[in-house]
Structures are given as C-alpha cells and as structure tokens.
C-alpha cells in the first residue's frame, strides 16, 4: 500500500502488436480525464507518476530513449514500487522466431544494444506489478493481429500470462477491451485500480473474461438509441436512416459493450446511435467470429422475422393509443359547451 509521499507509478508498454489507438483514445477521456488522474484532482486519489510513451517528454529524441526506458529497468530491479503495468497491443510469440530477429520490442538491452522483446518485459515486470491492465482488444484477447493464419502467434495478455494469473496483490489481469478502447472505460478502470491500491476500494469486480463488470454487463442493444425501432420491427437496409441496423450487419444484440449508453467523447457518439453498425470490437472472438462485416448476423433473420410480426401488431395498437394520448382534454377548451361537459369528461377519464 502506498503512502502520500510515494507515488504509484503507471508503466505503460505500447509495444505489443499495436496501432497506439488506445493511447490516442485515452487522450479523449473526460470522466475522468487523464489530466484529472495525473494532477490528482479527484478526492482521495493517490499521487501518480505516469510513464506513458505517447506523451512522456522523456521518450523524445532530445532526452534519448534510455531516460524513458530506465523507469522500466528500475521496476525490473525492484527499485520502483508500487506500479501498475498497462499493456497495449497483442503479445507475439517470440518462440516462433527460428533465426535472428523479433516480432516486437521495447527499448534496448544496455549491454548488447539489442531490442528487448515485449514478451520479455512482461516476464520481467508482471511478477513485480501491483496490477496488470490490458488496454484494448489486442492486449486483452489478441484482436486483429491474432486473426486466424497470422504468422506471429499473437495473443492477449491473459493467454500469455495465464487466465488464472494474479498479481502479488492478488489482483487478476484486468481487461478493458475495445478497438480502440472507449476512453472513459479505460480512465475509470485506471482510477478504480488506484483507489484499490490505496486501500479505498474493494477488489475490482471482473467477469469471466476479466472485464470490469460494471462496464461490460449489458449489451450494445440494451443501450442503443435504435432499440425502439427493433422492438417495433422496423429495420433499415441502407445507411442514413433512423431505424435498426441489424439487417446491414449490426451485432449489437449479443455484444457486451456500453458505448451506446456512454457515448464516445464526453457522452457524444456511440456506434449504432450515430449510424454505424456494431462490429463487436470488444469481444474475445473479434474479428474472426464476426466477419464478414456488414452481413446480417446469423440468427438475426429469425429474430427480426419474429419482431417484424410482433412489431407490426404493436405499431398498429400503439398508433391508436398514441392518437388518443396526443389530444388535449376537451374540458380545457374555451367554448361553453366544453365547460358544461367538463364534469362528465373528468369523471370518464378518472374511471
């Protein structure tokens, strides 16, 4: 447990097989923002020291990469505690390399000046970390780089370290998937871990895919602005219309993701809300299990047929009720007749 004097370090490795999209996404977080975390504007948040290649001055050419990497070397030597290790990008299988070379590396070995493979950093740092957080679908489940037939043997952090792996603080790997990750989902999870690390929050609640339960407990469909159209059996076959997108490839009914509810930046956006189909980018089987994108998902034919029939009846009945509900009561009209009838009318409405 840290004291007020000792900051909790966040060591960020973005050198898995990665496009850096999750680092970029985090810069858009607002609830809380990365500035809130770093500057400690949240009540009770412990001091943090972030070592994040995307924005760290020390990772620039002027200072030389060694200045930045030295934080990681210190952590490896046990001189930097406590720290949370954030991993972005999938972990390639270096055992598949037979000759010279490597799939992905992070910094150089000071003696040999050879790159240090990302997987070696995981081997060195995970045992010393307070918690390991996998950010984005590549780091959590392999993602795009782990598609069938890829030559790298790419995998997510739980496949590399083991799904039952726990940190020295008994915290399982924390997975925040998304391609890229929804900014606030990541900043909120980092914040939770910081509160937990400082003894102010209980063990982070994770589901069986190691996702924070409160973020990934509901489906896209359950939070979608278009769900009313689905229920009334109104499906579009083209973009730019307000109806449900399932016939043009939306996987929302079976995908665990809070983006339609939470929006993308500052509450705005959220794939199907703003016209994009859900391609299931948070799911462990992404992308292989959800391709080809833009085809109607299997099973959707039957469910849309059922809700099409049900929806047609419901729409008709609702239209009658909606018409009645959309008229002002007669006794509020100015004409005398209406006032004479008002007592009778009120009685009818109340009974």
Residues that bind ligand SF4 (CB under 6 A): 18-19, 21-22, 88-89, 136-138, 143-144, 178-180, 220-221, 224, 226-227, 230, 244-246, 250, 252-253, 255, 257, 259, 271-272, 278-282
Backbone φ, ψ for residue 49 (5° rounding): -130, 115
Radius of gyration of the chain (CA): 26
User: Which two three-digit tokens encode residue 98?
Assistant: 């037979």
User: What is the phi-psi region of residue 263: left when phi exceeds 0, alpha when psi lies from -120 to 50, beta otherwise?
Assistant: left
| Strand 115-117 versus strand 8-13 pairing type | unpaired
Which residue's CB is nearer to ligand SF4, number 185 or number 196?
185
Which residue's CB is nearer to ligand SF4, number 130 or number 229?
229
Full 3-state SS string of 79-115: CCCCEEEEEECEECCHHHCCCCCCCCEEEECCCCCCE
Chain residue at closest Cβ approach to ligand SF4: 252
Shortest separation between residue 227's beta carbon and ligand SF4, angstroms: 4
Which residue's CB is nearer to ligand SF4, number 101 or number 275?
275
User: Which two three-digit tokens encode residue 171?
Assistant: 């915290």
Shortest separation between residue 349's beta carbon and ligand SF4, angstroms: 35
Which residue's CB is nearer to ligand SF4, number 85 or number 259?
259
Shortest separation between residue 299's beta carbon and ligand SF4, angstroms: 11
Shortest separation between residue 36's beta carbon and ligand SF4, angstroms: 22
Which residue's CB is nearer to ligand SF4, number 194 or number 279?
279
Distance, CA of 79 to chain centre: 32
Cβ-proximal residues to 114 (8 Å cutoff; 6+ apart), any chain: 108
Report the candidate in 107, 186, 139 with the shortest Cα–Cα distance to residue 19: 139
Shortest separation between residue 243's beta carbon and ligand SF4, angstroms: 8
């Amino acid at each position: 447990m840290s004291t007020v004097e000792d900051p909790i370090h966040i060591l960020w490795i973005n050198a898995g097989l990665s496009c850096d999209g999750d680092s970029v996404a985090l810069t858009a977080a607002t609830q809380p923002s990365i500035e809130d975390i770093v500057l400690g504007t949240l009540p009770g948040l412990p001091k943090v020291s972030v070592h994040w290649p995307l924005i760290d001055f020390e990772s620039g050419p002027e200072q030389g990469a060694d200045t930045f990497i030295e934080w990681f070397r210190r952590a490896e030597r046990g001189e930097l505690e406590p720290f949370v290790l954030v991993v972005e990008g999938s972990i390639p299988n270096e055992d598949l390399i037979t000759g010279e070379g490597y799939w992905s590396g992070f910094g150089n070995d000071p003696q040999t000046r050879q790159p240090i493979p990302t997987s070696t950093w995981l081997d060195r740092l995970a045992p010393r970390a307070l918690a390991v957080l996998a950010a984005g679908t590549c780091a959590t489940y392999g993602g795009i780089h782990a598609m069938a037939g890829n030559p790298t043997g790419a995998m997510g952090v739980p496949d590399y370290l083991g799904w039952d792996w726990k940190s020295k603080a008994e915290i399982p790997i924390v997975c925040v998937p998304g391609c890229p990750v929804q900014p606030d989902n990541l900043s909120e999870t980092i914040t939770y871990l910081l509160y937990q690390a400082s003894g102010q929050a209980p063990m982070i609640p994770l589901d069986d895919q190691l996702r924070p339960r409160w973020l990934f407990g509901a489906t896209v469909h359950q939070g979608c602005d278009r769900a009313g159209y689905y229920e009334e059996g109104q499906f579009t076959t083209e973009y730019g219309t307000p109806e449900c997108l399932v016939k043009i490839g939306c996987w929302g009914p079976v995908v665990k993701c809070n983006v339609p509810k939470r929006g993308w930046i500052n509450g705005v956006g959220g794939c199907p809300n703003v016209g994009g189909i859900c391609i299931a980018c948070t799911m462990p089987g992404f992308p292989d299990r959800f391709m080809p994108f833009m085809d109607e998902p299997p099973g959707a034919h039957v469910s849309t047929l059922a809700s099409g029939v049900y929806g047609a009846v419901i729409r008709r009945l609702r239209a009658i009720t909606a018409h009645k509900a959309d008229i002002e009561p007669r006794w509020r009209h100015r004409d005398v007749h209406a006032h004479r009838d008002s007592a009778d009318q009120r009685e009818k409405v109340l009974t």
